[in-house]
Amino acid sequence: MKCELTEISKTGIQTYRLENDNGMVAEVITYGARISKLVYQGIDVVAGFDDPEGFRGDNPYFNAVIGRFANRIGNASFTLNGKEYPLYKNDGNNHLHGGKEGFDRKIWKATVVGNCSVRMDYVSCDGEEGYPGNLCVSVTYSLDNEDALCIRYRAVSDKDTVCSLTNHAYFNLSGTFDTALHHELTIRADQVTAIDNELIPHGEIVDIKGTALDFTIPKLIGKDIQNDDTLLKLGNGYDFNYIRNNDTEEPIATAFCADSGIAMDVYTDRPCVQLFTGNFLDGVRGKQVYGFRSAFCLETQGYPNACNVPSFPSCVLRAGEEFRSYTAYLFRKP
C-alpha cells in the first residue's frame, strides 16, 4: 500500500496517488479535492482529464467535493436563528452545489495521513457564498485492500450554519464512457423527494414502487429512461433524491456493468442518494469524450433544500459541533 505526491501541475495543483496491494489506484488532486483517476483491474471508472489543469475548465463538477451544501437551495436563501441568509444564485433563481465558487473550485491542502490515505483540508470563511460561520472542512480519501475507496467528511463551524457534503464522481464501469444506460442499478429506496419544475423539493415525498423511478429490483438505467413519468420528464432523465430504506450496513446503491463484469457498492451513513444520469453532459473532452448520459453519479447526501423545509431532517450544524459522514465505493467482480 502506498500514498504519495506524484505531480504538481503548472498552476500548483498537486496529485496524490493511492495504491492498494491489489494494484487498485486512486488519484486525488488538490483542486476541488477531486478524484482524478480510479483504476480498478485496469479500468479507469471515473470521468476526468489526464492533465489536472483540465478540471479547471468547463465540466459539471467532475468528481469534486461539493459544499458547503450539496444540491439545491430554493430561492437561494434560508433563515437560521431568525436571520435570513441570501446565497449566490447560480442555478436560475436557486443556489446549486455551494454557489458561484463552491468547494469544487477551491485549492485544498493535502496531508498524507496513513499508508493509503490522504486528507484534504479547506477553510470556508464566514460569509463565503453567503453562508454564516468559518467552516473548517476535512475530507479524507482512503483506499483499502478490500478495493473500497472510502471518503470521510468532517466539518466544524464557529457559528451555527448549514452543511451537507458529497462527492460528485461520474462513473462508467465499462471504462469506455459511451453510455451509462447499460449499467444495471439497484437503489434501496422506495421513495424520492418530489421536485418542482426548477428541481427544488418542498417537502412532498413520493412513493416510487413499480414506477419508472423504482430501482429496488436491479434494472438497467436505460430501461425506463424514456418513460412518460412526469418526474422523469422534469429531470430530463434521472436526477432524483432517493431516500434510503435500509440501514447503513447494506449498500444504499449497487451498480453493475455486464461488459466489464465490474460491480460497485455504495455504502454511506447519509440518508439519501442523488441519482444523476449525466443529463447535462454535452461532449466535454477529457480522458474520453463525455456525451449525453455517458456517465452516472450516485451522490450521497442529506435532503436537498432541507434548510427551507422543516419536515426534512435538519441540515443545521451548530457552532462547535462536528459534521461527520462517510461514503465508500466498493469495487468487486461478482
Annotated catalytic residues are 168, 299
DSSP sequence for 24-63: -EEEEETBTTEEEEEEETTEE-B---SSGGGGGSS-S-TT
Phi-psi region of 18 (alpha: psi -120 to 50; beta: other; left: phi over 0): beta
Nearer to ligand GAL, 31 or 296 (CB): 296
Three cell numbers at 147? Answer: 478495493
26 binds ligand GAL per the rule CB under 6 A? no
The CA-based angle 277-155-117, given to 5 degrees, is 75
The radius of gyration of the chain from alpha carbons, rounded to an integer in Å, stands at 19
27 binds ligand GAL per the rule CB under 6 A? no
280 binds ligand GAL per the rule CB under 6 A? yes
Residue from 178, 168, 188, 326 nearest 255 by CA: 188
328 binds ligand GAL per the rule CB under 6 A? no
The CA-based angle 45-333-120, given to 5 degrees, is 40
Answer for which of 185, 295, 299, 328 binds ligand GAL (CB under 6 A) is 299
Nearer to ligand GAL, 96 or 155 (CB): 96
292 binds ligand GAL per the rule CB under 6 A? no
Nearer to ligand GAL, 118 or 221 (CB): 221
| Contact assessment for residue 315 and residue 163, using Cβ atoms and an 8 Å cutoff | yes
Q: How far is the CB of 163 from ligand GAL (least distance, A)?
A: 17
Local structure of residue 233 (DSSP, 8 states): H
Nearer to ligand GAL, 70 or 148 (CB): 70
| Whole-number Cα distances in Å, 222 to 58, 154, 240, 293, 294 | 26, 36, 15, 10, 11
Three cell numbers at 169? Answer: 464522481
60 binds ligand GAL per the rule CB under 6 A? yes
Q: How far is the CB of 114 from ligand GAL (least distance, A)?
A: 29
Query: Pattern of binders to ligand GAL over 186-205, x per CB under 6 A?
Result: -------------x------
Contact set for ligand GAL, span 93-132 (CB under 6 A): 96
Nearer to ligand GAL, 66 or 137 (CB): 66
Contact set for ligand GAL, span 151-180 (CB under 6 A): none
Q: How far is the CB of 15 from ligand GAL (least distance, A)?
A: 24
Nearer to ligand GAL, 129 or 239 (CB): 239
44 binds ligand GAL per the rule CB under 6 A? no
3-state secondary structure 255-280: EEECCCCEEEEEEECCCEEEEECCCC
Q: Which residues contact 272 (CB under 8 A, 6 or more apart)?
A: 193, 241, 242, 243, 244, 300, 301, 302, 303
| Whole-number Cα distances in Å, 241 to 175, 217, 306 | 25, 17, 12
Answer for which of 31, 40, 55, 61 binds ligand GAL (CB under 6 A) is 61
Answer for which of 16, 276, 323, 329 binds ligand GAL (CB under 6 A) is 276
User: If DSSP codes are grouped into helix, strand and coil, which group holds residue 235?
Assistant: helix
Residue of minimal Cβ distance to ligand GAL: 60
Q: How far is the CB of 113 from ligand GAL (least distance, A)?
A: 28
Q: How far is the CB of 6 from ligand GAL (least distance, A)?
A: 28
Nearer to ligand GAL, 3 or 189 (CB): 189
Binding residues for ligand GAL, per CB under 6 A?
60-61, 71, 96, 199, 239, 274, 276, 280, 299
